[in-house]
Amino acid sequence: MSRAAKEYHYPLRLASEDARAVDAVCRQSHVSFNRVVALCVRKALPEVRETLSTQTRRITNVDPLPDKVLKRLYSQADDDADSIRLFMAAQAKAIEE
């Protein structure tokens, strides 16, 4: 870690299992708690960034339909009542365990 690194002072809440794991790494490597946590952030941040960015990314490259088109489509009555009745009749009526 460089000397020019910005210092952050805040309480860090860790689950007891995580705190024990960090403490074990500190004892094993003879490195300070702060340095271990900073290294964890540096190493894991790209993966965390990727995980968080994929959660909000669109799944498709197809542009969404305009609101006018959606309203027109969803306001029309479904004209396939026979198929719907057959589909509903084929579904399970009760959950078997």
Give 42-79 pLDDT, tens digit per residue.
999 999 888 887 666 667 778 888 999 989 888 887 77
Q: How far apart are CA 51 and CA 53, in angstroms?
A: 6
> Does position 4 have pLDDT exceeding 70, yes or no?
no
| CA atoms of 9 and 36, how far apart (whole Å) | 15
CA angle 22, 27, 29 (to 5 degrees): 90
Tell me the domain boundaries of the chain: 16-56
Q: What is the pTM assigned to this prediction?
A: 0.47
Chain Cα centroid distance, residue 42: 20
Alpha-carbon span 60 to 23, nearest angstrom: 44
Chain centre to alpha carbon of residue 84:
35
